[in-house]
Chain A
Amino acid sequence: MHINRRHALAAGATLLASTAIGAVTPSFAQTPRDTVVMAKQIDDIISLDPAEVFEFSGSEVTGNVYDRLVNYDVNDTTKIVGQLAESWSASADGMTYTFKLKPNLKFHSGNAITAADVVYSFQRAVTLNKSPGFIITQFGINKDNVLNVVKAVDPQTVTITVNKPYATSFFLNCMTSDVAAIVDSKVVQANVKDNDFGNEWMKRNSAASGAYILRGWRANEQYALEANPNWVGGAPKTRRIIVRHVAEPASQRLLLEKGDVDFARNLHKDQLASARSNPDITVSQGDKGYILYLGLNTKNPHFAKPEVREALKWLTDYDAIERNIVAGTFASHQSFLPKGFLGAISEKPYKYDVAKAKALLEKAGLKDGFTVTMDVRNTSPISDIAQAIQSQWAAAGVKLELLPGDGRATLTKYRARTHDIYIGQWGPDYLDPHTNAETFAINESNADDARSKTLAWRNAWDIPEMTKKTLANVLERDTEKRKAVYEELQREHQKTSPFVIMFQQIEVAASRKNVSGFRIGPSSSANYYWNIVKG
């Protein structure tokens, strides 16, 4: 069975190769008609195994390759829709969920999708327990009890029992994440090595049922996807998607203008402006959940004073930075829940006000300002933003020294809490408000060797009350009440926290005019390819 499948694939690939070569004209300024080529930064991918994927680019791949039981509606993220599941229900006590699969579903291999595959997928995710594993294990499902709490009642029905009566929205939102994707248990089992649940093989191959089939990934170079005509959502419109790693936004734009690629995915403000003025190019966009913020380490005695923290929030010129440096790629945003999340608020209490900032600093006994350092990744636009902030803060005598570093070096320092200020981005792990609330508003132990190292912990912000309140909210089964608590939390957070939350990311994709239908979703795993059409 398995061998047959491989042969079929090989034959298909050869056929594809020969047709594609035939389609290539000597002029290299064109891509084949049944193939869409994207230029994108994909060097963050370290694995394409859904049990391990936790990076933005990797998540986009698994989003297009794998299906989940349920997914959210891209037009309204607070709505859950069935993907492989036809229906689902929660028991009265809120502890057991029952999912019923749609009939006659098939994986890419032709194997039928059954409840056993669902059980295997969950068993695999919690046993491997890679970085995103906690999204499932936080419901008390672990490698020891998984076969007792995730059960196949019949070939079409699965029940999942959790350890506390969590908010239904919380549980279902978590089920939409990559780690809850359903894998083809037969194919995976055929590729197991040393009890690894096929992890090694799955890093660069797929055993899935989604719209696209993974046809290879080479780190820092490219990945290729091929359409699955039998997908549950209908056959994708473009046969082949090739995504090529191009680090430089300027190069991406040029490749796009010359027609070497159909999409440029990481254009910055200035390239975007010139792309918009080009009649051959269209730009589409969507709000992303990533938040750009400054983390002020309260281990620094200045930042232990709430007045100083607030002063810096008044001292940052959000408008000028947005207008001049990040227009089109970031939008002003000042609370920890991104737009589109349950409970998100749109209030922006802070604006550039030097007088107010000076008054607060004087109240804190720092009339003449002070000197601090900020760790800055040496990438655009982060370093430009940092330099703009540096010059803005100088207006109130705050002398900011910038320490440039490579991404991992600055992050290492941040995680060790040895920074003064860190300028960073945070993306939600899954589409539920708890993910951001947890990291921004929970710090269970402020000790250096604490187990849970949330962003609040990294900035040494000791908040027992807020922690309690945030934790309790995942058990709030009344969605309206849950929403209200998150709103309250954010307002308090805005006032007191050591986080200067500045922007929310807007993801943009520039494409050739003859290509349309690319959907930029609220998270990377919802950047769907299947409607892309090349005219």
Chain B
Amino acid sequence: MSNLYAYLTSEAPVSRGQARLAQAYRRWLALKANPLALVGLAIVVLLLLAAALAPVIATHDPLAQNLDQRLLAPSAKHWFGTDALGRDIFSRIVHGTRVTLVIVLLVVISVGPIGLLIGTVAGYFGGWVDRVLMRITDIFLAFPRLVLALAFVAVLGPGIENACIAIALTAWPPYARVARAETMVVRNSDYIAAVRLQGASNTRIVLKHIMPVCIPSLIVRTTLDMAGIILTAAGLGFLGLGAQPPMPEWGAMIANGREYIFDQWWVATFPGLAICLVALGFNLLGDGLRDVLDAR
């Protein structure tokens, strides 16, 4: 154990692998020193666990209707009460973690590439390519984001995948800007000049040499954005175009509870708390990660 500690904290790493591990360890130590970030990490881990073990944790089938047991107040049997179709709200929230995770994952894997591609191409080629791409970025930035996402969902049709695509289509501009700024720094470095001298094509340079450089800052950006993604998805769900019923999507659950808000407060309250908690978790973690990863 103490050997491992010495290995990880060595001032003079003997291999690249050791250097990397050591860096990761130092970052972990820094993160550990930040209690709020740890709380965030705990929440995210909890989310992952809840998603993985949803069938075990849930007390009821999240889709099973029981029309004679609708709108029951929280009790020992139904911890968070039941909704308008007599479904157990606690179980729906637990299963909703899966929906949330799927949304976050889908958006992240689609928004990153779009932003990366546009940003690096604009930054690397400069000139009119840059101007055109940046204009397009500006146009998308000038849209009210949620309205644009709503329009895309309306075009693409309902469903969680399409909602994710719509969110990605509206969320890429900041990513493109980050990637572009990063690319402009790297573009004129000796390293890239050397690669160019070796006769590498532009495509190859962008794909193999520029993009990898931009990825870390995009990852930080993504973590910070996770909460925003969750909130946007919930907003779409609330407006009725996010998820397909009977999927237990939290935003849609709030929308369903809206009609009962003044009498059966629990229907809308608990899904909202769940969104708050998870978004807060990602925010706390992202905040801590930024401090650790981003020297700036």
Contacts and interface: CB of A to CB of B under 8 A. Distances in A.
Q: Do chains A and B touch in the complex (CB under 8 A)?
A: yes
A404 B262 contact: no
Contacts of A386: 245
Interface string B47-72: 00000000000000001110110110
B246 interface: yes
B71 A388 contact: no
Given A320-B67, A388-B67, A249 B244 contact: no
A388 B154 contact: no
Given A324-B67, A388-B85, A270 B241 contact: no
Secondary structure at chain A's binding surface: helix, strand, loop or mixed? helix
Interface string B221-253: 000000000000000000011001110000000
A391 B65 CA distance: 7
B258 A250 contact: yes
- Range of interface residues on B (Cβ < 8 Å): 20 to 34
Given A384-B85, A391-B63, A406-B154, A324 B68 contact: yes
B246 to A, nearest CB: 5
B240 A404 contact: yes
B241 A249 contact: no
A514 interface: no
B259 A387 contact: no
Contacts of A387: 65, 85, 245-246
B156 to A, nearest CB: 12
Interface in A323-344: 323-325
A206 B154 CA distance: 37
A496 interface: no
- Range of interface residues on A (Cβ < 8 Å): 20 to 34
Given A325-B67, A384-B85, A250 B245 contact: no
A10 interface: no
Nearest to B154: A409
Interface string B257-286: 011111110000000000000000000000
Nearest to B247: A402
A320 B189 CA distance: 72
Contacts of A380: 256, 259
A439 B260 CA distance: 36
B262 A403 contact: no
A404 B63 CA distance: 17
A402 B70 contact: no
B84 interface: yes
Interface string A400-416: 01111110010000000
A240 interface: no
Nearest to B65: A391
A27 interface: no
A448 to B, nearest CB: 21
A148 interface: no
A108 interface: no
A379 to B, nearest CB: 8
Given A383-B245, A388-B67, A274 B263 contact: yes
B259 A270 contact: yes
A268 B259 contact: yes
A248 interface: yes
A404 B160 CA distance: 11
A403 B67 contact: no
Interface in B172-221: none
Interface in B84-133: 84-86
A380 to B, nearest CB: 5
Contacts of B255: 378
A402 B262 contact: no
A384 B84 contact: yes
A518 B42 CA distance: 59
B13 interface: no
Contacts of B264: 270
B244 A401 contact: yes
A376 interface: yes
A250 B70 contact: no
B259 A404 contact: no
Contact of B259 (A249, A323, A378, A401): A249
Given A378-B240, A404-B240, A404-B244, A250 B259 contact: yes
Nearest to A391: B65
Contacts of B64: 391
B236 to A, nearest CB: 11
Given A388-B67, A405-B158, A376 B262 contact: no
Given A250-B261, A391-B65, A404-B158, A270 B246 contact: no
Nearest to A379: B240
- Which of B84, B246, B255, B261 neighbours the largest number of chain A CB atoms within 10 Å of its CB? B84
Interface string A355-378: 000000000000000000000101
Interface in A301-337: 320-321, 323-325
Given A387-B85, A402-B246, A270 B68 contact: no
Contacts of B159: 403
A249 B255 CA distance: 13
Contacts of A248: 258-259
B157 interface: yes
A388 B67 CA distance: 8
Interface string A254-282: 10000000000000101100100000000
- Which of A248, A325, A391 neighbours the largest number of chain B CB atoms within 10 Å of its CB? A391
Interface in A232-264: 248-250, 253-254
A245 B70 CA distance: 29
Given A250-B259, A384-B84, A402 B244 contact: yes
A390 interface: yes
A409 B157 CA distance: 9
Contacts of A409: 154
B61 to A, nearest CB: 11
B263 A270 contact: yes
Nearest to B84: A384
Given A403-B157, A404-B240, A405-B158, A376 B245 contact: yes
Interface string B139-166: 0000000000000001001110000000
Nearest to A392: B65
Contacts of B68: 324
Contacts of B85: 384, 387-388, 391
B226 to A, nearest CB: 25
Nearest to A274: B263
Contacts of A379: 240
13 contacts: A249-B259, A250-B258, A250-B260, A270-B84, A270-B260, A270-B263, A271-B259, A324-B68, A378-B240, A387-B65, A402-B245, A403-B159, A404-B158
Given A384-B256, A403-B244, A405-B241, 11 more contacts: A250-B262, A270-B84, A320-B67, A324-B67, A378-B241, A383-B256, A387-B85, A387-B246, A388-B65, A388-B67, A404-B240
Interface of B: 63-65, 67-68, 70-71, 84-86, 154, 157-159, 240-241, 244-246, 255-256, 258-264
Question: What 4 pairs between A and B have smallest CB-CB spacing?
Answer: A378-B240, A324-B67, A391-B65, A402-B245
